[in-house]
Amino acid sequence: MGGKTVSRQELYDEIWTISASKAAEKYEISYARFLKICRENSIPIPPSGYWTKLQCGKPVEKTPLPASKIDVVVLDPEKGKPKETDEIIAQQAVIVPDEEKIGLEIRYEGQTQRYNRETLYQEVWEEPMTVVSKRYGMSDNGLRKICRKLDVPFPPAGYWAKVRAGKSVSKPALPKVKTPPNEDKPKTGERRKLHVEETALSFLKEEDRRKIVDAASKLRVAGPGAKLHKDIASQKEKCESWLERQKERGQRYGRYVEEVPVLAADISKESYGRAFHILDALLKGMLPFGASVTYQFHFQVNGEDVPFSMSESKDQIPHTVTQEEKLALLKYEEAKRKNSWASKPNIPKWEHPWNGRLTLTINGKYKFMDCKSYSLEDRIGEIMIAFYEASYAVRLQRLEAEEKRRKEEEERRKAEEIRARYNKEIDYTGGLINAAEDYDTACKLRAYIAAVKASGQKSEDWIEWANAKADWFDPTIHAEDPYFGVRQHAKSADSKMPKRKGYW
């Protein structure tokens, strides 16, 4: 493989100077591949929180480069496009051979149309395929493909001609559905092997990482009837109680809108048991490592608040018109014929029943869902590891937000200091001007006193009194007057000029 070469010491210095992720970017290698190369060549990398501590001026410890016979490191990238470091952890944490490859099935509501076999069977034998296909918004050939895929028998060519001619025809029964493995019911016993990539949980100490991986590999979901953890059981009771209150309210309207408990409206009541047993298994698996449930019904994992959500998808099937809806439609048509006003009944075209397929989303982007290859119970260990990966992502986001707030606070503090200093300068400058005006007044008084003294117009007592007043104005002397006290030279002329006193 024609990879780049670099000395082991040089690579070590770069990692501890610019970080491992930037070094990987420099050499155009994916971060996961770069970490593997470092481990293979015994090159230590900075631990979690190292760069944050360094930016905050806190003491950090640099792991020395251990001795090795390797002097030159070959940086050979893996084939294919390097993965981004913020790629979904759940996808990174699953490496499966092609023969048993299952991956994560990310499906969005409305993207895949689902069909009810029994309904479809009844429809294609009651009306021609060209009529039924229009209800599903497709061609008759497209609907035939769907029927073959779902193993739904449909009338052969010439069937409807024989019916119109009154000839006898045969109608095969709907065969039982061929349920693929893991599709019938979620398994809670044997499951496939836990797949964890080498870079998973790399932010933990190796001993802690081994403990968590070992616990995840042994994790199982308890069957129906098993006792739930008190926090999980409490949330389940809240959801069930909320559902009961919704039934009691019926169609009543009011201003009060009750807060919906987490998970209550996102899954059907029939799926409550399964959903909360999955969450119970995850919590109990992480409890030995300090996990807990927050008041918002998040999981506190590795010291971080990790939010999650669980939802159940729905099928889309044609709506079966009820007897009441038929009567309402007849009344509407009758009113139209009589030219009377009437409101057309709102009859939905589709129904969307819950289908039991659950999706668990961790921190908004690590997503696991039931699919043909596996159920959530089969991946419970990998889901647990994804919670720890998500906790690290949450920690980085929190530290980044804290650092941003610290910088903003520092900028506000500096701006406040500058503002306060600016205002003080205004006050000092104004005081300087006011004092200079007092000094100018004192000089004018002394010049006037000298002229009066030379003319002999005033007595010596007056000359002495006038000189005292000049000294009172002079900020360089700062004399005290027996009546006016000490003059505040820095103040404005209006505020420091003596005022006449009135009668009490």
Question: For the chain, what are the domain ranges?
Answer: 4-85, 318-351, 424-496
332-370 tens-digit pLDDT = 888 888 888 888 888 888 888 998 899 999 998 889 999
Q: How far apart are CA 52 and CA 59, in angstroms?
A: 11
pLDDT at 255: 53
Question: 232 with 293: CB under 8 angstroms?
Answer: yes
Global pTM reads 0.53
| Nearest in space to 73 (alpha carbons), one of 31, 17, 34 | 34
> Quick one: pLDDT band at residue 254, thresholds 50, 70, 90?
low
Q: Please answer whether residues 474 and 438 qualify as being in contact, where contact means their C-beta atoms are separated by less than 8 angstroms.
A: yes
Q: Give the pLDDT of residue 177.
A: 66
- Calculate ∠ Cα 407-408-413, nearest 5°: 95
**459: Cβ contacts below 8 Å, ≥ 6 apart:** none
In the chain, the percentage of residues whose pLDDT exceeds 90 is: 40
Query: Which stretches does DSSP call E strand in 189-288?
Result: none
293 burial via Cβ count (<10 Å: 0-12, 13-18, 19+): middle
Asked if 310 contacts 358 with a C-beta cutoff of 8 angstroms, the reply is: yes
Largest Cα separation within the chain, whole Å, is 152
What would the two tokens of residue 67 be? 């001795």
H helices of 314-379, in order, are 323-337
**C-beta contacts of 459-465 below 8 A and 24+ residues apart:** none
Residue 207 amino acid letter: E
Specify the DSSP element, H or E, that contains 367: strand 366-369
Nearest 5°: phi and psi at 299? -100, 130
Residues in the chain, total: 504
Confidence band for 78, pLDDT divided at 50, 70 and 90 = low
Give 322's contacts (C-beta < 8 A, 6+ positions apart): none
3-state secondary structure of 35: helix
d(CA 328, CA 335): 11
pLDDT band, residue 443 (cuts 50/70/90): very high
pLDDT digits (tens, 9 = 90+) for 272-303: 999 999 999 999 999 999 999 998 999 999 99
Residue that the structure tokens 């308890």 belong to: 222
* DSSP strands (E only) in 97-155: none
pLDDT at 190 over 70: no
Please, are residues 276 and 267 in contact by the beta-carbon 8 Å criterion? no
List, in sequence order, every residue forming a beta bridge with 75; answer none if it has no partner: 4
Whether residue 188 contacts residue 273, with contact meaning beta carbons closer than 8 Å, is answered with no
Q: What is the pLDDT of residues 387-440, one digit of tens each?
A: 999 999 999 999 999 999 999 999 999 999 999 999 999 999 999 999 999 999
Tokens, residue 497:
């000029």
SS3 content of the chain, % helix, strand, coil (to 5): 50, 10, 45
Amino acid at 75: L
